[in-house]
Structure 1
Amino acid sequence: MIIVGELINSTRKAIAKAIEEKDKAYLQDLTRQQAEAGAHYIDVNGASGGDELENVKWLVELIQEVIDVPLCIDSPNPQALKVGLELCSKKPMINSISAEPERWELVLPLVEQYKSKVIILCMDDKGMPESIEDRFESLIS
């Protein structure tokens, strides 16, 4: 099992505030806690509020100052993914990629270029399927 520390996610109010206020110490402490708790990857999501590309760049740099754990770049924006992936010092992972064909067309070149692992959401352009069978089908169709 691979454990991803998901606390550095700007959809969380405290994280969005810390990013907005550039509270490096708070974010680095939270990063250390996740690594010390056994996370194999640290998720980085700077998508909410402000300039996402700058947020991702800033977050990746400050996180890598304090841990030696690979990062999991989490964004619906392929440009933000690229910014984060370029800065990763260890082999990264891309988080939350849906099975929508147009998403794959944008993200697959990044997966290939950075040889990253991927977390795929079992949903397609119709949304989240109700049954397990339909979720599986969304991935293979």
Structure 2
Amino acid sequence: MEIIGELINTSRKLISEAVKKKDGQYIKDIAKLQQDSGATYIDVNCGTFMQTEVEAMEWLVDNVLQGCSVPLCIDSPNPLALNAGLKKTQKDKPMINSLKLEGGNVWKLNLDL
């Protein structure tokens, strides 16, 4: 059974504030807490940062990986943010949570995994 910790989501006020302030220790602590509570994947979602989602995803993934040792679940309908997050997790076996096919467009992930 896989258990996905979903606390690292910028729709949560404290996570959003931590990203804005670049409080990496808070993000690391939340990631570790979820791992210690039994999560086998840590979900990373920064979709509320639409204008800077790629940069926010890279920063979040870097900090989450420093805080825990379980693989990540990259959560975004934005293919650029997915690519950015997945490329940072190359040594792990990441999971993709969201991918939209809006308006008949098929998004392509450009990964070297």
Q: Give me the TM-score of the superposition, normalised by structure 1.
A: 0.70
- For 2:111 and 2:24, how far apart are their aligned partners in 1? 32
Number of residue pairs aligned between Structure 1 and Structure 2: 111
- Over aligned residue pairs, what C-alpha RMSD do you find? 2.1
Residue ranges of structure 2 left out of the alignment (5+ in a row):
none
SS class of match (1:19):
helix
- For 1:6 and 1:94, how far apart are their aligned partners in 2? 13
Report the CA distance between 1:67 and its aligned residue.
1.4
The one-letter amino acid paired with 1:95 is N
Q: Give me the TM-score of the superposition, normalised by structure 2.
A: 0.86
Query: What residue is the counterpart of 1:95 in the other structure?
Result: 97
- Is residue 78 of structure 1 aligned with residue 79 of structure 2? yes
Query: What residue is the counterpart of 2:54 in the other structure?
Result: 53
Residue ranges of structure 1 left out of the alignment (5+ in a row):
115-141
- Is residue 5 of structure 1 aligned with residue 5 of structure 2? yes
- Report if aligned partners of 2:78, 2:99 keep a CA contact under 8 Å in 1: no
Percent of aligned pairs with the same amino acid: 45
Structure number, greater radius of gyration: 1
SS class of match (2:43):
strand
SS class of match (1:27):
helix
Report the CA distance between 1:4 and its aligned residue.
0.4
The one-letter amino acid paired with 1:59 is L
